[in-house]
Every structure is written in structure tokens, then in C-alpha cells.
Amino acid sequence: MKTNDSSSFSETLPLLVIREGKEQRVEKSKTSIKEYFYSDRDAIELKNAVSGGSTIVIALQEKASCYDLLKKIRSDPETALKPVFLTTVHEGEKLPFSDGTVSSIQEASEKAMPIVRRLERIDRETSDSQERIFLLLGYLYSRPKQSLMPFADWQSKEVYHYPLADVLLGDDEESFRQLQSLCDHGLIREERLVDRIRHCPHCNGCHLNFVDTCPQCESINIHQQQFFHCFTCGHVDTEESFLDSAGLYCPNCQTKLRHIGADYDRALENYLCHDCKTSFSEAGVLARCHHCSKSAKPEELVPQNIHSFQLTEQGRLAARTGSLGNVYAVLDALENITPSYFYHFLDWALQLSKRYPEDPFSVIGIRLSNIMEITDTLGRQRAWELMDEFVIRIRAIVRSTDLTCRTSQQDLWLLLSRTPKAGCSILQQRIQEIKELTRQPDGVGLEFATITCTIPEEVDEKENAKLLIARLKGALS
């Protein structure tokens, strides 16, 4: 790679070229271009060198060395968003952490300039912007044409992963869930369907072996065989049992079989289980997981679409401002109806219950009380994740016929159709259990109060929707 190019870009953009070398040092230069001779033994000196340049060019030949160095740069919040280029093209593979390859210093400066300019627009002074989630949003914001791509890795339990998200978010195991959370909140969107895979329902693994089995006993000890059907007595058996030295004879009625289609025919069955001796025409299928060794039917496997992701307009705004916005907005992922429609529907249901009292329904109110305290203690990102967990568990509780509504920032209401008092109490208990399920190791967790009301037995005849909800809100306080 040419390093003696002179241009307005290289003069104004501090640039670091990392080369192979035994000594770790930064070559001092009067220009904005510096050289660093890389060895993986001194991480501190490497960090200091990388932090000094706004653009980095890695002039290493070995792919493994390039990958390790790229991962170190992207893992450090101070250097994660810097433009990083390679000088060597690795055939057939693209390193997911780089911004591409360059052949000269001028080309590196020209490609880096728009990235650096967009990075300058990001507000890094807000408290929210210190969360690792903003590294991912900032990376995609500074590279508007880049998508977050999945990579297949046969050594990975779930096969697909997002290397860039794993490194920037700092959590390989949780990055899938965090990406789905960002998508649910409208910060990123699904761009292109890359693949569809199926997971083991027991351990979520994707390394599955599909085997043909006996539909009767699920043994894999089955073989294809030809079966004959005797028209005289209806006996069905293997071809070998019909064979005789004098020709074909039914082993059941001893009839001599001369003409196919008149005396006998080939049976539909063409499999035989050597364990239970059952004959059948179509084998069953079982998926055996190589991780947990458990089996499942194909229809029991959990399908998952694998997409590439792209930053949305809301995500670009969050990246620039360094703020995720209102944590309570996570509750909107429940597809809540508007308060006006909720009150209208509840009034209609109250009137209906007067005419048909034998068909009760229930209302559950939930008031979240410590979201701001959690945000101050754990940070906005962890608060979002806890709220995500709360929403996921509420989704698992409510049915498609139930309605949810937010009447204020912290008040959530569930209208449960055809739910008597006993059923409502069970649901209330399951909701209360979410407190412990979301509690963190340090004891911090969601705190909320619940109130229930079963209609018509627990309402006054003159109560309308607004009066009922006002009464329940008072009880929540």
C-alpha cells in the first residue's frame, strides 16, 4: 500500500497505519500519518496508539491477525466506531468488523471522511449514550449504506449470529434478543430474509438430524421391502413370504397366485419395522438434536426467520441524540388500544353484563412504581431490557381475545373476556410472579401493584367505565 500520498484528506484526518513488526512503537511523523508496528503482547500500548488516530489502516497479511485486531478495536467503546480498513483482500470471506479494503492512504482518507463527519454529529455527552447499545446504533448511523448481516457458523449452537452486534453489544448470548428488542422498538427494521432455520424445542439448538422412523414404535430399525396383497383372502405380507419353489403362493390361504392384478397386487405398504414387525407405506420423521440428544417431531420444532437489519429514522435520531426516549413506551409493544376505545368498549361490556350476568369478564390493573429508580440504578438500557421481559411475560399471559390499554404513563389495564373471578385470581398471581422472574442478582427488579375486578359481581349497577377505572386507580394508590 502506498503511504506517501499527499492530499487534503491525509493532512486534515489523523490516520494510523498498523504494520507487522516485533517492536511495539508509534513512528513519529510531522504529518497526520503515523505507523504502529503491531504485536499482540501489549494491549495497553495498542489501545493508546489506536485512540490517537481518527482512521485506522491495518496492513497485516494474516487473516487471523486481522480478525483479532479488528475485534479488539471494535470491543473497546473508545475505538469501536472508528473507520478501520484493511489492505489485504481475503478471498471468499469478508471480515465483518472492517470498513472494507484500500490500496492507498488517499483512498483510506476519502472513504473515512464521510464516516468521521457523521460521527461528529453524535451527542456523546448524555448519560444514555454511555450504554453499549449506542455503539451499535452509532456504527449503523455513521455508515448509512451498511446493513447488519448475519453470519452462519456451524460451530455455533444456533448456527447464525451477528458478529458485529456480538462485539459492539458485548454479549454474544444476548445479542439476538437485544436485536429483536431494538426491532420491536422501531430503532432497526428487518431488511432482507436471509434464511429460515428451526430450533430444538428443548434446548434451542439448531444441529438436528432428521431420521425416518416407524410410525408405531418410533424405531429407526426400518427397511424398505416389497409387499404383496392376496385378493382371495386379503392377506398382506412381504414378497419373500409369498415366494415358493413352485411359484407364488399366499402363505395364509395357500392360493396359487398367477396373474398380478387378478390374483394379487403389490400392496401400498413398502416399509417393515424389524422391532415391532409393523408394515406401513409412509415412514414417520423425528428430529434428533445433537446438543441435548432429545427428539421432536418436525411440527414441534421452533421456526425462526433470519434477517439482515437496517437502521430506521427513529434509530438515527436515537444515535444522534444519545437517548432511547421514554422507557414506558416499551409497554406499547403490547399493541394497546387507545383509552377512548377502551372506555367505550368497557361501557358496552358493562351494559352487556347486565343483560347476560351468567357470562362474566374481568379487569386487571397494573401500576409500575419504580421504573425511574431502576433507570437511575441500572441505566436506561437495562431498564429497557427489564421492561422487555415484563412485556414478553404479559404477552404470554393474555389471549388474543383480551384487550390491553395504557391510561397513563405507568398504568396498564387488561380486559379479560369470559374470565370469572377464580380465573382472574390465577392470572393476577401469574402477573405477581413476574416480580421475582425479573429480579436481578443484586436484588433490583420491577415493582408494581395489581388490582382486579370481576363483572358483574364486583361493580355497582350505576358504575360506568370511567367511574370503575377511577375507583380501581384509587385502590392502586
Got the DSSP string for 138-195? HHHHHSTT--B--EE-TTSTTSEE-HHHHHHHT-TTTHHHHHHHHHHTTSEEEEEEEE
Say yes or no to pLDDT of 6 above 50.
no
Residues 6 or more apart whose CB falls under 8 angstroms from that of 470 comprise none
What is the rounded distance in angstroms from the CA atom of residue 336 to the CA atom of residue 242?
Answer: 69
3 state DSSP class of 350: helix
Count other Cβ atoms within 10 Å, centred on residue 300. 13
Which one of 75-79, 238-242, 345-349 scores highest in mean pLDDT?
345-349
Q: What is the DSSP letter of 337?
A: B
Q: Residue 41: is its pLDDT beyond 90?
A: no
Mean pLDDT for the chain overall: 85
CA-CA distance, 475 to 477, in Å (whole number)?
Answer: 5
Q: Is 286 helix (H, G, I), strand (E, B) or coil?
A: strand
Select the more confidently predicted residue: 16 or 142: 142
Is residue 43 predicted with pLDDT exceeding 70?
Answer: no
Structure confidence at residue 42 (pLDDT): 62
Give the pLDDT score at 167.
92
* C-alpha–C-alpha distance, residues 208 and 212, integer Å: 13
Q: How many helices (H) and strands (E) does the chain have?
A: 14, 25
Which of the pair, 61 or 128, is modelled with greater confidence? 61
| Per-residue confidence band for 130, with pLDDT thresholds at 50, 70 and 90 | low
Is the CB of residue 189 less than 8 Å from the CB of residue 310?
Answer: yes
Give the pLDDT mean for 299-324: 89
pLDDT at 236 (0 to 100): 84
Query: What is the gyration radius of the CA atoms in the chain, in angstroms?
Result: 33
CA dihedral 450, 456, 462, 465 (to 10 degrees): 50
Helix (H) or strand (E) holding 472, with range, is: helix 465-476
What does the alpha-carbon distance between residue 251 and residue 78 come to, in Å, rounded to a whole number? 83
CA atoms within 13 A on the CB side of 249: 8
| Residue 38 β-bridge partners | 20
Please give the torsion angle defined by the CA atoms of residues 406, 412, 417 and 419, in that order, rounded to the nearest 10 degrees.
-170
Query: Residue 417 has what pLDDT?
Result: 93
Structural domains in the chain plus CATH codes: 1-120 (3.40.50), 208-296 (no CATH), 327-476 (3.30.70.270)
DSSP state at residue 404: E
Is the overall model pTM greater than 0.95, yes or no? Answer: no
Packing angle of the helix pair 339-355, 465-476 (nearest 10 deg): 110
Least confident range from 116-120, 206-210, 255-259, 348-352: namely 255-259
Q: Which residue has the cell 390361504?
A: 253
Whole-angstrom distance, CA of residue 334 vs CA of residue 337: 9
Determine the Cα–Cα distance for residues 198 and 259; give it in Å rounded to an integer: 49
Cα→Cα distances 273→35, 118, 265, Å: 71, 67, 21
Q: How far apart are CA 104 and CA 57, in angstroms?
A: 10
Look at residue 220 in the predicted model and tell me its pLDDT: 92
pLDDT at 9: 40
* Partners of residue 236 on adjacent β-strands: 229
398-403 long-range contacts, Cβ below 8 Å, gap at least 24?
398/334, 403/337, 403/342, 403/345
Share of the chain above pLDDT 90, in %: 41
Residue with cell 353484563: 353
| Residue 176: how many other CB atoms lie within 10 Å | 19
Instruction: Write down the pLDDT at residue 40.
Output: 61
Which range is least confidently modeled, 57-71, 348-362, 372-386? Answer: 372-386
User: Grid coordinates representing 186?
Assistant: 422501531
State the amino acid at position 109 in one-letter form: S
Q: Report yes or no: 358 and 346 within 8 Å, Cβ to Cβ.
A: no
Distance between CA 55 and CA 78 in Å, rounded?
Answer: 13
Average confidence (pLDDT) over 237-244:
81
Which pLDDT belongs to residue 472? 96
Predicted local confidence at residue 27, as pLDDT? 47
Q: Provide φ and ψ at 327, rounded to 5°.
A: -65, -35
User: Which residues are CB-contacts of 356 (< 8 A; sequence separation ≥ 6)?
Assistant: none
Beta sheet of 264-266, edge-to-edge order:
236-238, 227-230, 264-266
